Structure 1
Amino acid sequence: SYKPFFSTLYEFDTLPAVLYFSGTALELLEKHHPECINIIDEMIKRKQVEILGGGYYDPAFPLIPVADKLGQIEMFTTYVRSRFGKRPRGFWSPEQMWDSQMPNIVRSCGLEYSFLNDYSLFSAGVSEDQLYFPYLVEEQGKNITVFPLDSSIMSRGFRQTPNTALRSIKNRAARDKDTVTAVFFDGGTFKKQYTSQITKTKRFWLKDLCGMLSRNRNAIIPVIPSEYLKKNKIVRKVYVSGDYSSSLKNALNDRNGINKLDGRNVSFKQILTKYDEANLLYGKMMYTNVSLQQLKGDKYRKNNAREELWKSQSHFGYWHGGHCGIYSTALREEMYRNLISAEKLSRIKGVFFSSIISTDFDFDGENELLYQSNDMNVYVHTRGATVFELDYIPVLYNYANTVTRKREHYHTALCKSIDSYQKRIFCDHFIPADLVFSQWKHPFSPLKGDMVHSLYSVTDLKREQRQILFEYKTSIFIHNQHFPVTITKKYSFKKNMLQVSYSIKNNSELTMETTFASEINLSLPSFERDSVSITDATKKSAPGIDAISEERSGVKEMVYEDKRHGTIVRISSEQAYTLWHQAQFAQVMNEGKIEDVYQHMCDLLSWKLSIAPEGVWEGMIELSIERA
């Protein structure tokens, strides 16, 4: 879709424009469509277009450290200058993400101007009749010029006719002779043809608009921002602390309007409060950043690690806008692959040793326990004593890369894919006696995961033995009777394996009969047979397990074969368990259509218990990962 866009723009050689691509997009164009690069190069040489600067890997600027902001912008600037012979002068932030640091960052990189949508300016206090003028924005004594984006025209995009777009632009220009407004169209969604409402014939969208703009120069004067700044002094000034975009507003809203953002700017960082997995990606990115700062000496190794880190900072994986975003398992997989690769490069042989680290990884005020070795990372949260990251480092893959499905603004009340607790590994449950497999599969299951939200106490941390002991005291309600119980949960780490040992003590004076379950959510790349197979290894004659859904009793060992990564994941227990297996899907809006998108595999391992007063039940689960 880019080629006809460039060809049409090239035809109108007196019509100026600015273009923005991420570094990766330009790389792909250069590799697969060098003719497009040649057209852009020619338009730059004849001073028709300017390439805007930005982050090389389309980063979520409000989330990443200052050094990475500067580094990504400089990396892209260097690429543009080496390829086109001219340094960018303007800056584009993906999705108009903005924070108060941006003027200082942008100016420090030698860039002079940027763009903000009109809603952001209005929310910052600019009156409606003053919206469509350039403004100075300043931070720490450094300022840049921002040009207003016309949100109403841009939101309609190629769905409006060229005549409608032209009329809107002329209406803006008619208000004041000094009015300045910027309009961007997404070249990736460019529609070469449209049907004329007058003649009902096929017309060429961009060609018609360019022709109309060329013929209306008495009312509209197209100009490149850098040329405008040479001839005009900017006198208006504004301070903008956050951004305001319809995409961000929709991402933070649910269908009931909770977190409604109408009329105010908000930091993109607020997205971390909605999506737990975005916050974990952010925590991993920040943790890896600290690890790289401690890497000394080998500049080549450090630069490679830094670039892997930057690749993981793409904004697409942190949220759900008009794209699949955080609900894309492939996108999250790629981000974790880059992060694990950067982390692996930071571990120097002879310097790095297996260890258990206690740190506030996700910035929730509680320390998490991180087991790290050359083969595996196992990160355990004190809430629920659950595993929230399980990296098998030889293949750079996180098997805990699951997602908690949230209610989105487009969901109806009957949406069947909403989770009430975080979908992690080793979530503890006491199952109601009347709960059956068909009910559990349904999204409105009475299994609410109360213990997943509860804070377990760390009663013993044996770093040399690589063991962590958790304890949690609660009371469960069975047949109108409260039973106080104490749960101890011990993690033991070995080379390619983690063991979880359970001890459940009945502190009541009555025999307690219940069903205890451990829920294991594993991120397998797909549910398709060519990507994964699931077998019951309890008996050689046992049939395979259906990847979509199955209930099976008497299981002692189940095996996932991850064909895409060439690994085997085993889940075993000495005590036979009842297995409830279900592939998890989310109802996701992607490019305007709601689709059922695969997320991960969910396995519930359960045991029926009868524990005498002051009695104890003990059980153990082993989870191992190895090369196939």
Structure 2
Amino acid sequence: MQNFKVVIGMYNNLPYNASGALYEQTYQGAWRPFLSGLYKFLSIKSAIYFSGAIFPWLEENHPEYMYLLVEMVRRGQVELLGGGLYNPLSPLISAQDMTGQVESLSAFIRKTTGKRPSGAWLYEYSWSSSLPSILQNSKIQYTFLPAEYFPNVEGGMEFGLPVTSEDHRKVITIFPTFESKDSENSFMPYENTLTDLQESYPECKTFIIMADGNEISMSWEKSGLESPDVLFERTFAWFQKNCLEYDTLTPIQLHKTTKSSRIVYFSQCYSRRFKEYCKKTINRLPIQNQEYIQISKQSVLDHPLVHVLYQKLNYVSTMIALFRGDKSRKKASIDDIWKAQCGDLFWIGPCGGILIPEARIAAFSSLIEAEKTIRQSRFRPYLSFDDLNFDGLKEAIFQSSVYNCYLQSGSASVSEFDSIKTGTNYACGWNDDQFSTGCFKDYIKTEGNFERDLIAVERWNMVENPREESSVLFRREFSARFEDRLLMLLCRKTYRFRNDFFSIDYELSNKNTEACLFRFCTNSEIIAAPIFEDHRFELLHHRESKALDLRSQAFFETVDGIGLSNVRKAERVLIRSDLPFSLLAKPNFLKKPSVSPQVMDVPSDSLMFEGFSIGIGWDLSIPAEGTAFFSLSVHLEH
């Protein structure tokens, strides 16, 4: 007689529009060997979750895999789980969007396999109190949360039984789930995990054991076997050999034969790795009792790159909610928004998350496309003000038929610079050393130096309604002591917007009774494409341009402008100045998460390109009570 009921499965999340190489690596290291190994053992059953971004890739690149998967689903050996179409973090999106994503993935699975999913997988186990009604409305009967969140049921009742949760009279069953990983968070064979769990929970007779496909593909080599195929064949052979003791089930079979032990109202739940990331990120702020805050949203605000994407997502979602007109256009815009809600983009996950350049660029491109879809045919440029980053201060937003430009009030910098034609946000480069993104952040440094700071010109005051239309004025007074001299300056920074370009005019007034000498710098993190080799970087001097192979840090004097373009797209960003400047430029690379931190000489294909750091500096000598004027202009050329 079989004494234990066991569900084994694999869940798979990858960012929308991540590189084909990342998809192929995970396919060869986890998806293919798992399914092909399982196919040889008809008596072993399993559960699999694929996010909606993976299915189109499989249909295009490995249709034979889809044929095999559909066959195994129809014969009852594999249960495909539903969930969010683009694996969103449920607390970060609206109930309406979550419902739409769950329903869309369920509809796809039903159309492909003929069976509607009864269970849903939550990305990183992200739970919100409204999920029972959301899932029940989509005919989802059960979901999964980490076993560590479940109460140790007393009174003779078995530990490991599912519980139910309710929202507005809509009830959902929740199964306690264990991760198949070792103490180093690497994948561990299912049979080894099961043996360890039996020792830790001798009273438990039911186990649900799931594994992350990404972790499988990155860690199977530690097993010492020649391929992941052998790894999974050994696992399934072990379960078949011990079939008299262990009965492998699909979740729907377990749900039909198991009753819930009690009702539990969970507040917030996440995977252990996501909680650790949030704790590390939130620790940048002095918040002592993190159990009282919504950690997923707080971590979004505390990472600059994630925050910029999140504020863009919320702004575009609001605009589309207000749109009245063609329903097909609105539906297309909503689908673009869903792509940008991919949970991988709102933290630095196992695959790199927001730091994966192709995923980050694609997310902004989806949101730009959503904006374009709902625009009227005759779109006129306009300047508006809204609190984008929820700090109580309004930010400036300029939109035209050529570009969008979002300004951050506190730093008077550009947080987003979108090309409407190519759907590229050129301001989403990332400097991990400085923990910085965005363009035209200003600093005052010592003369002839890009390294030694006198003061960072932050905490600007924005003047919403200057006399000139389509312009935004920032103002800042500051003082700093340097080498027994007092530096007292009044800075005015004015953005002037036109349909196809914008300019940044600087006015620096010396308020001291002595002349002052310093370098005024503005730094930008710029990216045009996810691949370094697709960039063309140009140096402009008078009317001549010179292409540079910028593979390492470089310094140039008396520069009139720079150009950056994606060689695959007929578009170039030009930054010109009316006053020659010094230039410090360098590319930024990060190791892929699969590369060990101990590896020093990392091959180029194991690096992620994060964009260029561009430092522009003017050496200024301003007499007492004097003023200096200079400006930059930013153009998009097609």
TM-score, with normalisation over the residues of structure 2? 0.85
Unaligned runs of 5+ in 2: 1-27, 600-605
How far apart in 2 are the matches of 1:115 and 1:308? 28
Distance verdict in 2 for CA 1:531–1:402, change over 3 Å: closer
TM-aligned CA deviation for residue 623 of structure 1: 1.1
User: Could you tell me whether the CA contact under 8 Å between 2:182 and 2:188 is conserved in 1?
Assistant: no
- AA matched with 1:224: T
Q: Secondary structure at the match of 2:110?
A: helix
Please point out which of 564, 576, 579 is paired with 2:580.
Answer: 576
State the match for 2:160 in structure 1.
132
How far apart in 2 are the matches of 1:208 and 1:432? 65
Q: Secondary structure at the match of 2:50?
A: coil
Distance verdict in 2 for CA 1:144–1:626, change over 3 Å: same
| Stretch deviating more after TM superposition (287-296 or 331-340) | 287-296
User: Could you tell me whether the CA contact under 8 Å between 2:415 and 2:439 is conserved in 1?
Assistant: yes
Distance verdict in 2 for CA 1:228–1:480, change over 3 Å: same
How far apart in 2 are the matches of 1:193 and 1:508? 66
State the match for 2:368 in structure 1.
340
Q: Secondary structure at the match of 1:589?
A: coil
Is 1:105 matched up with 2:110?
no
TM-aligned CA deviation for residue 545 of structure 1: 6.8
- AA matched with 1:164: N
How far apart in 1 are the matches of 2:422 and 2:233? 49
State the match for 2:3 in structure 1.
none
Is 1:215 matched up with 2:241?
yes
How far apart in 2 are the matches of 1:588 and 1:261? 32
How far apart in 1 are the matches of 2:539 and 2:100? 47
How far apart in 1 are the matches of 2:228 and 2:396? 62
Q: Deviations over 1:80-136 (max 9, x none)?
A: 1111111100000122122222222212211010111123336xx879x97622111
| Stretch deviating more after TM superposition (377-386 or 37-46) | 37-46
TM-aligned CA deviation for residue 494 of structure 1: 1.3
Distance verdict in 2 for CA 1:419–1:334, change over 3 Å: same
How far apart in 1 are the matches of 2:491 and 2:525? 21
Distance verdict in 2 for CA 1:86–1:448, change over 3 Å: farther
State the match for 1:409 in structure 2.
none
Please point out which of 586, 595, 620 is paired with 2:631.
Answer: 620
User: Could you tell me whether the CA contact under 8 Å between 1:131 and 1:148 is conserved in 2?
Assistant: no
- AA matched with 1:399: Y
Please point out which of 18, 21, 45 is paired with 2:50.
Answer: 21
- AA matched with 2:516: M
Is 1:497 matched up with 2:498?
no
What is the aligned residue count? 598
Is 1:423 matched up with 2:425?
no
Q: Deviations over 1:365-394 (max 9, x none)?
A: 211100011111011111121111000111
User: Could you tell me whether the CA contact under 8 Å between 1:196 and 1:203 is conserved in 2?
Assistant: no
Distance verdict in 2 for CA 1:523–1:126, change over 3 Å: farther
Q: Deviations over 1:321-342 (max 9, x none)?
A: 2112111221110101111001
How far apart in 2 are the matches of 1:62 and 1:164? 34
- AA matched with 2:358: A
Distance verdict in 2 for CA 1:69–1:429, change over 3 Å: same
Q: Deviations over 1:232-258 (max 9, x none)?
A: 321322222222323213423559987
| Stretch deviating more after TM superposition (7-16 or 532-541) | 532-541
Counting only pairs closer than 5 Å after superposition, residues 18-417 of structure 1 correspond to structure 2 as 18-121=47-150, 132-151=160-179, 153=181, 159-161=187-189, 163-171=191-199, 174-176=202-204, 179-187=205-213, 190=216, 204-254=230-280, 267-350=295-378, 352-405=379-432
TM-aligned CA deviation for residue 477 of structure 1: 2.2
- AA matched with 2:501: M
Is 1:562 matched up with 2:566?
yes
User: Could you tell me whether the CA contact under 8 Å between 1:501 and 1:618 is conserved in 2?
Assistant: yes
Q: Secondary structure at the match of 1:206?
A: helix
TM-aligned CA deviation for residue 427 of structure 1: 1.2
Counting only pairs closer than 5 Å after superposition, residues 447-486 of structure 1 correspond to structure 2 as 447=453, 450-452=456-458, 454-458=459-463, 460-461=465-466, 465-486=469-490
Distance verdict in 2 for CA 1:492–1:33, change over 3 Å: same
Q: Deviations over 1:152-178 (max 9, x none)?
A: 6477787535652342254367324xx
- AA matched with 1:78: A
Distance verdict in 2 for CA 1:456–1:255, change over 3 Å: closer
State the match for 2:37 in structure 1.
8
How far apart in 1 are the matches of 2:59 and 2:529? 30
User: Could you tell me whether the CA contact under 8 Å between 1:59 and 1:314 is conserved in 2?
Assistant: yes
How far apart in 1 are the matches of 2:613 and 2:177? 45
Q: Deviations over 1:267-306 (max 9, x none)?
A: 4223213311111111111111111122222122111111
- AA matched with 1:515: R
Q: Percent identity?
A: 25
Distance verdict in 2 for CA 1:323–1:541, change over 3 Å: closer
Q: Secondary structure at the match of 2:208?
A: coil
TM-score, with normalisation over the residues of structure 1? 0.87
TM-aligned CA deviation for residue 495 of structure 1: 2.1
Structure with the greater relative contact order (CA < 8 A, sep ≥ 6): 1 or 2? 2
Distance verdict in 2 for CA 1:544–1:255, change over 3 Å: closer
| Stretch deviating more after TM superposition (37-46 or 587-596) | 587-596
Q: Deviations over 1:346-405 (max 9, x none)?
A: 11124x421111101122221110001111101111112111100011111011112252
How far apart in 2 are the matches of 1:490 and 1:170? 67
How far apart in 2 are the matches of 1:110 and 1:139? 14
How far apart in 2 are the matches of 1:258 and 1:611? 38
Q: Secondary structure at the match of 2:576?
A: strand
Query: RMSD of the alignment, in Å?
Result: 3.2
